[in-house]
Amino acid sequence: MVTTIQISNEAKSELDRIREGKQTYEQIILGLLKKSLEDKKRQEELLIEGCKVMAEDSLKINKEWEFVDAEIGWEW
């Protein structure tokens, strides 16, 4: 089924500006959606990787403080 959508002249101009060759508006929009999903997935992967690095740093800091705490003999 084909659905007709209305877009403003400004949106049409922007789509024309990023058009490559004889792409249809549908192809342009699908390409933008695909890129958006890929970017979102990549951003999630980077966030996960950053959290892993931060967790490793936290573990190192905790181990250093455990050593200091053992030497001082803090009482709570």
For 46, the domain range is: 9-72
Burial class (CB in 10 A: 0-12, 13-18, 19+), 46: exposed
Q: Is residue 1 part of a domain?
A: no
Helices (H), the chain: 9-18, 25-72
Domain count, the chain: 1
Q: Is residue 4 part of a domain?
A: no
Residue 68 is predicted with a pLDDT of: 73
Residue 75 is predicted with a pLDDT of: 66
Q: Is residue 67 part of a domain?
A: yes
Write the pLDDT tens digit of every residue in 21-71. 999 999 999 999 999 999 999 999 999 999 999 999 999 998 888 877 777
Apex 14 CA angle, 10 and 15, nearest 5:
115
What global pTM score does this model have? 0.67
**Is 25 within 8 Å of 15 (Cβ atoms)?**
yes
Residue 76 is predicted with a pLDDT of: 62
The C-alpha R_g of the chain, in whole angstroms, comes to: 26
Q: Is residue 3 part of a domain?
A: no
Q: Is residue 18 part of a domain?
A: yes
Q: Is residue 55 part of a domain?
A: yes
